[in-house]
């Protein structure tokens, strides 16, 4: 993600290194007193990061309230910047705040931001943010996730974003740009979530988690995996493949992963994609039980369409309980950014070090335990 480089001669890709956790983790911890309103962020989730040519810029979903357990919590999108990958400055003003009005399609959930810069877009729309939102849990209890759809907002400076208007939305709903009905057959129900954007040659490419099911009670899973769509304006989307077959674990259309992170390397004309693909047994050892992941697999492509991935290999990055910021586990959703030949990963961990008063997370054995969420950095081929 980030600013696209000019066309290149597609140089050969040399050997690549491994992701290494950086000194200074955790970078940010929930409950830290960072904001002028005296309130704190209770949770953080689904980070997104890119290099803008001068600094690292990160976004993530958060819950903001006067205290843990308070009833004044608001969901919002945070923005932070860093020049050294260690010291992060979190903006006091949110990049986007949940529309909590009754009837709003995102009035219960707002998270999973992804932001790209397009120098060829109109001045007030140089930055495009897509995000996941929902007004309820999915209507089938056996699928314990929100009924996510995907929204869009624009910004001139990448600091604060404005949702697209009702008149611009393909659905006549402020902010809303992509629904399960657009992605799947009319006979299927489903969810679209975890958007990830990259701009290549003036085209927005969207990779996202997708799930569909059929039957009167949606009892038959039909597809599950990472899907791909494209757009010229960030509003009208054409679905290319849902799910992407080359990212499936087996020939079964329900065998795909989720929560993709994608970068395009213009020097080597190469795409890289990281995704979560875990079973329950893969995260059973993590003490906190809250949307966990064991790590992420890496896939590569020369065209962004057909991917090479091997789930029999070890993950490209995995949970390590001995490392600061993640002693109690990893929260699903890591994001990778490109800077030259290097890569930077942001990921969220669960930790029990210096927990603010009252902060708890669900324990795997039931109940809760004192814990916080942490923002952490790992790098590959960066000094």
Query: Collapsing DSSP states into helix, strand and coil, what is residue 347?
Result: strand
pLDDT tens string 80-95: 999 999 999 999 999 9
pLDDT at residue 4, as a whole number: 45
- In whole angstroms, give the CA distance from residue 252 to residue 277: 14
Q: Is residue 8 part of a domain?
A: no
Query: Collapsing DSSP states into helix, strand and coil, what is residue 210?
Result: strand
> Which residue is it, tokens 């090479």?
308
DSSP secondary-structure letter at 301?
A: E
Across 123-153, b (16+ Cβ under 10 Å) vs e yields: eebbbbbbbbbbbeebeeeebeebbbbbbbb
- In whole angstroms, give the CA distance from residue 68 to residue 85: 28
CATH number (domain holding residue 309):
2.115.10.20
| Torsion angle, alpha carbons of 297, 331, 35, 110, to 10 | 90
**DSSP alpha helix (H) spans, the chain:** 180-183, 280-283
Query: Collapsing DSSP states into helix, strand and coil, what is residue 247?
Result: helix
pLDDT tens string 221-279: 999 999 999 999 999 999 999 999 999 999 999 999 999 999 999 999 999 999 999 99
Is residue 161 within 8 A of residue 153, CB to CB? The reply is: yes
pLDDT at residue 2, as a whole number: 47
Q: Is residue 15 part of a domain?
A: no
Cβ atoms within 10 Å, residue 51? 18
pLDDT at residue 186, as a whole number: 76
Taking alpha carbons only, the member of 263, 338, 260 closest to residue 52 is 338
Q: Is residue 10 part of a domain?
A: no
Q: How many domains does the chain have?
A: 1
pLDDT at residue 306, as a whole number: 98
Encoded tokens for 233? 């304006």
Q: Is residue 171 part of a domain?
A: yes
- In whole angstroms, give the CA distance from residue 379 to residue 242: 30
> Which residue is it, tokens 């529309």?
99
Q: Is residue 11 part of a domain?
A: no
Cβ atoms within 10 Å, residue 279? 8
Q: Is residue 309 part of a domain?
A: yes
pLDDT at residue 3, as a whole number: 46
pLDDT more than 90, % of the chain: 90
pTM summary value: 0.95
User: Which domain covers residue 340, as residue numbers?
Assistant: 20-380
Q: Is residue 4 part of a domain?
A: no
pLDDT at residue 246, as a whole number: 98
pLDDT at residue 172, as a whole number: 97
Q: Is residue 183 part of a domain?
A: yes
pLDDT at residue 15, as a whole number: 78
Residue ranges of the chain with per-residue pLDDT less than 70? 1-8
């Amino acid at each position: 993600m980030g600013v696209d480089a000019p066309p290149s001669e597609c140089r050969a890709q040399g050997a690549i290194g491994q992701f290494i956790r950086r000194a200074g983790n955790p970078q940010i911890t929930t409950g830290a007193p960072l904001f002028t309103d005296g309130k704190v962020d209770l949770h953080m989730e689904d980070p997104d990061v890119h290099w803008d040519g001068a600094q690292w810029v990160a976004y993530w979903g958060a819950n903001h309230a006067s205290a843990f357990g308070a009833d004044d919590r608001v969901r919002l999108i945070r923005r932070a910047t860093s020049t050294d990958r260690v010291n992060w400055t979190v903006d006091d003003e949110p990049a986007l705040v949940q529309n909590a009005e009754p009837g709003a399609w995102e009035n219960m959930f707002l998270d999973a931001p992804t932001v790209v810069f397009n120098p060829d877009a109109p001045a007030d729309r140089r930055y495009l943010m897509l995000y996941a939102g929902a007004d309820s849990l999915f209507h089938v209890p056996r699928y314990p996730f929100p009924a996510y759809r995907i929204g869009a907002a624009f910004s001139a400076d990448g600091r604060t974003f404005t949702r697209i208007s009702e008149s611009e939305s393909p659905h006549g709903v402020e902010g809303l740009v992509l629904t399960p009905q657009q992605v799947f057959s009319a006979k299927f129900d489903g969810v679209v979530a975890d958007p990830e954007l990259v701009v290549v040659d003036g085209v927005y490419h969207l990779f996202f988690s997708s799930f569909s099911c059929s039957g009167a009670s949606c009892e038959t899973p039909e597809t599950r995996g990472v899907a791909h769509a494209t757009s010229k304006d960030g509003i009208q989307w054409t679905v290319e493949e849902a799910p992407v077959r080359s990212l499936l674990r087996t020939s079964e259309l329900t065998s795909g992963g989720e929560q993709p992170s994608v970068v395009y390397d213009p020097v080597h004309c190469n795409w890289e994609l990281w995704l979560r693909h875990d079973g329950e047994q893969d995260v059973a050892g993590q003490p906190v039980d809250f949307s966990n992941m064991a790590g992420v697999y890496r896939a590569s492509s020369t065209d962004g369409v057909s991917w090479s991935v091997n789930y029999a290999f070890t993950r490209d990055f995995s949970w390590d309980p001995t490392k600061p910021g993640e002693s109690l586990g990893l929260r699903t959703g890591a994001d990778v950014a490109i800077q030259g030949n290097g890569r930077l990963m942001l990921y969220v961990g669960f930790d029990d070090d210096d927990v603010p008063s009252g902060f708890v997370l669900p324990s795997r054995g039931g109940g809760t335990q004192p814990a916080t969420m942490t923002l952490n950095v790992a790098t590959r081929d960066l000094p």
